[in-house]
Amino acid sequence: MNDITPSQTDPASHQLRPTKETYERFQQAFEHLDKALFGGTLPRPLITLQRRRHTYGYFAGARFRNEDGRVADEIALNPATFAGRTVEDILSTLAHEMVHLWQHHEGEPGRGRYHNRQWADKMKEIGLQPTDTGEEGGKETGETIGHLIVPAGPFDQAAQRLMARGFTIPWKEAPAAPEQSKGEGAAEPDPNPKSGKRLRYRCPECDLKAWAKHDARLMCADDKALMVAGD
């Protein structure tokens, strides 16, 4: 006899809209921070949730294209990091990636993953202090750069105003459940297993192709677009 799941016994669970609730909140946060910190000038990206290891989030330019041929950038946030962080911390990751979006359209991004001086200066302008150590006094530029929230700075004030209006992130990743028995809720296999296999990447703009390891981040220098895996 199969076990009965909570969703089968609780009629209220059928009224939940976790996808709508989650993505509407992040769209609300993006628009609020855009207006408060960037003058409402940023193009709208597609915000996604991605579990990329060892990162809170990332930005990818021109990652998506619709049926009309219009392109949209991607800002990805890692939901695996939400549970142990405050709402303001999560919003600061969104703002961090918004600076990358700003630089992609209005400035001169560093090559590949490099966070350059222009990016660091913009971060400080909006009230986020770049640091490669997660502490005060860390390097402001480089390959792997995090940030600290400047108390009472522009970002801190903007986030506090948003949260004062009741903003929350309602859905966070639950603690890992005991492993299910074979045949129940089997996960979809990872299409890019971490076996060291090399994948083909292409530029979404000019179709330039290159081969690299599964988790590489390649940038097309001509189009300043992040290359994507696949044929």
Cross-strand bridge partners of residue 77: 49, 57
State residue 13's pLDDT score.
74
Dihedrals φ, ψ of 120, to 5°? -60, -40
Angle at 111 between CA 35 and CA 107, to 5 degrees: 30
State residue 188's pLDDT score.
41
DSSP state of 140: S
Tokens of 124: 């400080």
State residue 12's pLDDT score.
73
Q: Residue 68 burial (CB < 10 Å; 0-12/13-18/19+)?
A: exposed
CATH architecture of 17-112+152-171: 2-Layer Sandwich (3.30)
DSSP state of 221: T
State residue 37's pLDDT score.
98
Amino acid at 116: N
213: left (phi over 0), alpha (psi -120 to 50) or beta: beta
Given a contact cutoff of 8 angstroms between Cβ atoms, the answer to whether 145 and 131 are in contact is yes
Nearest to 98 by CA among 123, 79, 80, 117: 123
State residue 29's pLDDT score.
98
Across the chain, which has 231 residues, the per-10-residue mean pLDDT values are 53 85 98 98 98 94 96 97 96 98 97 95 98 96 96 98 97 74 41 53 68 67 64 48
Interatomic CA distance for residues 22 and 34, integer angstroms: 18
Interatomic CA distance for residues 20 and 57, integer angstroms: 20
